[in-house]
Structure 1
Amino acid sequence: MEVKVTSTTILTSPLSQPSEVPLTIFDRFALNIHVAVLYAFTPPTSANADIISALSKILVHFPTLTANFSTNSHGRPCLTVGGPDGGALVVEATVSSKLEDHLPLTPSPDFRLLHPGVNDAKHLLQVQLNRFQCGGLVIGITNHHRVADGQSMSSFFLAWGKMVRGVPIDPLPVYDQSWLKPRDPPLVQFNHWGTDFIPLSPQPNEFKATPVYADPSEITNMLFHYSPEFIMRLKAHTNKLSTEKYTTFETLAGYIWRKVTIARQLDDEESTMLSVPVNGRRRLQPPLPPEFFGNLVLDVYPKAKARALIEGGVVKAAGIVRKAVRAIGNDYFRSFIDLAEVYKDKNLVPCYETDGNVLSPNMEVDSWLGFGLDEIDFGGGGKLCGISLTWVPFEGLSIFIPSLSQDGGLDVLVSLLEKDAARFREISHSLD
Structure 2
Amino acid sequence: MASSSPFFHHVSTCIVKPPPQPRTQLNLAPFDLIMLSFHYIQKGLLFSNRLMPPLTIADVVDRLKTSLSAALAHFYPLAGRLVTEEARDEKGNVTGIYLSIDCDGQGAEFTHVVADGITVSDVLFSSTDVPSVVNSFFPYGRTINYDGHVLPLLAVQLTELADGFFLGCCFNHAVGDGVSYWLFFNAWAEIARAGGVAVELSRSPVHDRWFIDDQKAPIKLPITEADKFTERFPTPLYRERIFHLSAGSIARLKAIANHDGMTFISFLQSVCALLWRCITRARRLPAEQNIRCSVAAQNRARLNPPLSPDYFGNCVYPISTATTAGELLAHNLGWAARLVHERVARHTDDAIRKAVAAWSAAPVIYKLNVHGPFTVMLAGSPRFDVYGCDFGWGKPVAARSGAADKFDGKVTFYGGREGAGSMDLEICLEPPFMRALEEDEEFMNVVSPPLELQEMDDFRHALVENSQSS
TM-score when normalising by structure 2 = 0.78
Q: Describe the shift of the 1:104–1:354 C-alpha distance in structure 2 as closer, same or farther (beyond 3 A).
A: closer
Match of 2:338 in 1: 319
Distance across 1 between alignment mates of 2:114 and 2:421: 31
Task: Give the SS at the match of 2:432.
Answer: helix
Distance across 1 between alignment mates of 2:208 and 2:44: 30
Task: Give the SS at the match of 1:93.
Answer: strand
1:180 is aligned with what amino acid? F
Match of 1:193 in 2: none
Match of 1:376 in 2: 389
2:175 to 138, 147, 165: 147
Q: For the Cα contact (< 8 Å) 1:14–1:82, is it kept in 2?
A: no
Structure 1 residues 245-256: aligned runs within 5 Å: 245-256=264-275
Structure 1 residues 187-198: aligned runs within 5 Å: none
Q: How many residues align?
A: 395
Task: Give the SS at the match of 2:74.
Answer: coil
Match of 1:420 in 2: 433
Q: Does 1:69 align with 2:98?
A: no
Match of 1:12 in 2: 17
Q: For the Cα contact (< 8 Å) 1:182–1:338, is it kept in 2?
A: no
Q: CA offsets per residue over residues 65-120 of structure 1, 9 Å max, x none? A: 1121112475411111116xx42100012222221232159644321221212335
Q: Where does the alignment leave 5 or more consecutive residues of structure 1 unmatched?
A: 185-198, 201-210
Distance across 2 between alignment mates of 1:407 and 1:355: 35
Q: Does 1:260 align with 2:266?
A: no
Q: For the Cα contact (< 8 Å) 1:13–1:82, is it kept in 2?
A: no
2:399 to 372, 387, 396: 387
Distance across 2 between alignment mates of 1:407 and 1:27: 33
The RMSD of aligned alpha carbons is: 2.7
Match of 1:92 in 2: 112
Match of 1:222 in 2: 241
Q: Describe the shift of the 1:256–1:93 C-alpha distance in structure 2 as closer, same or farther (beyond 3 A).
A: same
2:132 to 109, 112, 119: 109
Q: Does 1:79 align with 2:110?
A: no
Distance across 2 between alignment mates of 1:407 and 1:322: 23
Q: Describe the shift of the 1:215–1:41 C-alpha distance in structure 2 as closer, same or farther (beyond 3 A).
A: closer
Q: CA deviation at 1:126?
A: 0.6
> Percent same amino acid among aligned pairs?
25
Q: For the Cα contact (< 8 Å) 1:241–1:315, is it kept in 2?
A: no
1:312 is aligned with what amino acid? H
1:148 is aligned with what amino acid? G
Match of 1:22 in 2: 27
Distance across 2 between alignment mates of 1:304 and 1:214: 29
Structure 1 residues 136-285: aligned runs within 5 Å: 136-166=164-194, 168-177=200-209, 179-182=210-213, 216=236, 218-241=237-260, 243-285=262-304
1:389 is aligned with what amino acid? S
Distance across 2 between alignment mates of 1:419 and 1:14: 51
Q: Describe the shift of the 1:317–1:109 C-alpha distance in structure 2 as closer, same or farther (beyond 3 A).
A: same
Q: For the Cα contact (< 8 Å) 2:290–2:323, is it kept in 1?
A: yes
Q: CA offsets per residue over residues 333-361 of structure 1, 9 Å max, x none? A: 222443465x3xx6x224x42728x9431
Distance across 1 between alignment mates of 2:358 and 2:213: 8
Task: Give the SS at the match of 2:152.
Answer: coil
Q: CA deviation at 1:315?
A: 0.7
Distance across 2 between alignment mates of 1:273 and 1:389: 24
1:355 to 361, 365, 369: 369
2:350 is aligned with what amino acid? D
Q: For the Cα contact (< 8 Å) 2:178–2:380, is it kept in 1?
A: no
Q: CA offsets per residue over residues 305-326 of structure 1, 9 Å max, x none? A: 1111111121111111111111
1:32 is aligned with what amino acid? F
2:242 is aligned with what amino acid? L
Q: CA offsets per residue over residues 140-174 of structure 1, 9 Å max, x none? A: 11111111100011110110000001164123111
2:300 is aligned with what amino acid? R
Q: Describe the shift of the 1:72–1:314 C-alpha distance in structure 2 as closer, same or farther (beyond 3 A).
A: same
Q: Does 1:40 align with 2:46?
A: yes
Task: Give the SS at the match of 1:240.
Answer: coil
Q: CA offsets per residue over residues 282-310 of structure 1, 9 Å max, x none? A: 11111111111000111111111111111
Q: Does 1:367 align with 2:395?
A: no
Match of 2:458 in 1: none
Match of 1:208 in 2: none
Distance across 2 between alignment mates of 1:430 and 1:26: 38
Task: Give the SS at the match of 2:205.
Answer: coil
Q: Does 1:124 align with 2:153?
A: yes
Greater mean deviation of Cα atoms: 34-43 or 250-259: 34-43
User: Structure 1: which 4+ aligned runs deviate by more than 6 Å?
Assistant: none
Distance across 2 between alignment mates of 1:246 and 1:90: 44
Q: CA deviation at 1:398?
A: 0.6
Distance across 1 between alignment mates of 2:212 and 2:207: 13
Distance across 1 between alignment mates of 2:345 and 2:419: 33
1:355 is aligned with what amino acid? N
Distance across 1 between alignment mates of 2:11 and 2:67: 20
Q: For the Cα contact (< 8 Å) 1:15–1:63, is it kept in 2?
A: no
Q: CA deviation at 1:17?
A: 4.8
Distance across 2 between alignment mates of 1:406 and 1:288: 27
Distance across 2 between alignment mates of 1:149 and 1:98: 31
2:135 is aligned with what amino acid? R
Q: For the Cα contact (< 8 Å) 2:17–2:72, is it kept in 1?
A: no
